[in-house]
Amino acid sequence: MDIQDQIIRDTRSLLQQIPAACFPYNAQDCAPARKDSQVLLLKETAFELGGREKKSAAYTCVSSTPGIVGESKTLLYGPDLGQIRGPLSYARITFAETEEIGEDDRAYHICKDIDLIKYSVYPEGFMVRASSMEEREQVRVGKKAVKEGLSFARVGSLYINKYLEYPGVKAVQVLFITEESADILSLKRLAEKNKMITKALNKIMEKADKECSTCGLKEICDEVEGLRKLHFQNRKR
């Protein structure tokens, strides 16, 4: 499956002018994990990322194209947790490379499953509030966690560890963006486009009989290579 490949390429292009710190995946040095979600009160919070007064974006891309993701690692664009002193705009983006999963209803369900993994990752002292409707995440980082050396490298390895547990996932990269000059609004637009691609794939798999001229997803099907072809192939079955 390669229908989200262009989102991956466009994301990397948007970030190419920002220096990135690269942290190879280390299964032995993940952030401490909780069994369930946590609540950090304001008095326990060092700072917030992606709060309502700041910009935020979050999305997951899945591809079976060999090598498009690269080795499993965390990429950080901007200051690390120990360097942040106040609220910042924020984005977390995940790229997952899988074994070939085809382009049918199985592919759709695998994409959804992989996207939902983020809701089962609970780093200690890193409280995530995600909105799938708005394609954004808000994070509260605890004072205690910062004092004890929590870093994006360790949080990223915890996420990667969880994604790699899913059958068929071969490599994962987690991107954290805290650089104030980053174009978060453009990343948000990519998040929305990525969501539309997934919706279009779902509609195709439902064998919707709508003509292209009357379908609300025509624009995204015309733009994304492979979607329209998949639509016509599916209607012939």
| Higher per-residue confidence, 98 vs 203 | 98
Inter-CA distances, 141 with 29, 47, 194, Å: 19, 6, 28
Paired residues of 203 in beta bridges? none
d(CA 109, CA 105): 6
Question: Which DSSP state fits 32?
Answer: P
d(CA 59, CA 231): 24
Q: What are the tens digits of pLDDT across the range 60-109?
A: 999 999 999 999 999 999 999 999 999 999 999 999 999 988 766 788 88
Report the length, in residues, of the chain: 237
d(CA 5, CA 149): 35
Handedness of CA 214, 217, 223, 226 (dihedral sign): negative
**How many domains, the chain?**
1
Domain residue limits at 223: 5-235
Closest CA to 192 of 131, 116, 108, 101: 131
Point out the least confidently predicted range of 128-132, 187-191, 227-231: 227-231
CATH code assigned at 113: 3.30.1650.10
d(CA 226, CA 130): 30
